[in-house]
Amino acid sequence: VSTIHVIGAAGFAGAQLAALVNDHPYFELGQITSRTEAGKYLVDVTPEYRVGRQLTELDLGAIASDDFAAVCYPHAEAVAVVAPLIDSGVRVVDVSADHRLRDPAAYPVHYDFEHPRPDLLQMAVYGLPELYRDAIVDAQLVANPGCYPETALLGLLPICRDISEVVIDAKSGVSGAGRTPSSVVHYSNVTDSIWPYKVFAHRHQPEIAQELGQDLIFTPHLLPVDRGLMCSSYARVDREAIPDQATLDARYSDFYEDHPFVEPVVSPPTMRAVQRTNFAQVCPLLSPDGERVAVFSVLDNLMKGAAGQALQNFNLMAGRPETEGLL
């Protein structure tokens, strides 16, 4: 048995992760910390998870070097906790954005802070098992993907070398915006509407570009949905490489053959099919003239897009079955 500490467990992703670890047959839930809710029971913060454990202040000294830790802090704040953990030998999944971009110069540009530990960016493995599973197994520091990049990449990776003119129109549930109240997440502003935001300016764009290996247009929209994320991705396709729908389908079935959480489907998926699961569904469709592809990818932003993905990574890091505690 190994212990996973969840640092920042009162937020949506942290609470979901604490619940998953709590029910896991192998892992044991260690500290569940919160800077603002310490003292409360997690079940009172998020009754649906039934985790009767008390949130505490973080006690870094009580984390053993052979423990695991997940850091669910906002960007620019996570690194200050990740750094000492890594330095003391703890294996970490950073759920924040602080170690996703390889280029230190990208942090001032996209995240408004100078990264204090560029060495950690070198060390970090991008936590997408469908791309980097072997490296995750041995990693000390895993940078859990952003929910938008995770969804977009699962949709496009199988064909990323054969497409161009990529446009990703993304639609996210409100839980992706986090638990902090604001007018943006006020029910009366969200319900019965849809809102495109941070057009040409969202921080997940460079993350997608880094892993996709090409530039792209990315536009997020806020949906009147609680949990769920869909990317509708459009691109020109290399007709020689992918001459027909059967070839396109084969690309996806081959690519995801050994990846239990990604389900290629033949009809456009709905969020319903993946909500509250760690599954993603991807549906690639070739246009009748064979010039374009549309790919629809969906997942639950708190599961495969955050906490479930983190647990999948912990499973790999600990040598456990990849799906343990996630089916």
Residues lying near a second copy in the complex (CB under 8 A) are found at 12, 47-48, 50, 165, 167, 169, 171, 173-175, 179, 181-183, 185-197, 199-200, 217, 219, 221, 223-228, 230, 232, 234, 236, 268-277, 279, 285, 287-288, 292, 294, 296
Q: How far is the CB of 122 from a second copy (least distance, A)?
A: 28
Task: Say which of 147, 160, 231, 283 is annotated catalytic.
Answer: 147
With CA atoms as reference, report the closest residue to 132 among 121, 122, 119, 145.
145
Nearer to a second copy, 47 or 321 (CB): 47
Beta partners for 235? Answer: 293
For residues 274 and 299, is the Cβ–Cβ distance under 8 A?
A: yes
Query: The tokens 């997942």 sit on which residue?
Result: 299
Nearer to a second copy, 102 or 179 (CB): 179
Nearer to a second copy, 31 or 233 (CB): 233
How far, in Å, CA of 35 to CA of 260, rounded? 36
Nearer to a second copy, 3 or 219 (CB): 219
Q: Going along 243-279, which residue ranges are E strands?
A: 262-264
Tokens found for residue 11: 């937020």
Is 283 considered catalytic here? no
Tokens found for residue 261: 């959480």
Q: In sequence order, which residues have a C-beta less than 8 Å from that of residue 134 and are 6 or more positions away?
A: none
Q: How far is the CB of 69 from a second copy (least distance, A)?
A: 26
Q: How far is the CB of 185 from a second copy (least distance, A)?
A: 5
Q: How far is the CB of 287 from a second copy (least distance, A)?
A: 5
Tokens found for residue 259: 């990846």
Kindly list the distances between the CA atom of residue 229 and the CA atoms of 63, 77, 84, 238, 270, in Å, as whole numbers in the listed order.
Answer: 34, 25, 33, 27, 10
Nearer to a second copy, 62 or 199 (CB): 199
Q: How far is the CB of 64 from a second copy (least distance, A)?
A: 30
**Any idea what DSSP says for residue 112?**
S
Instruction: Cite the active site residues.
Output: 147
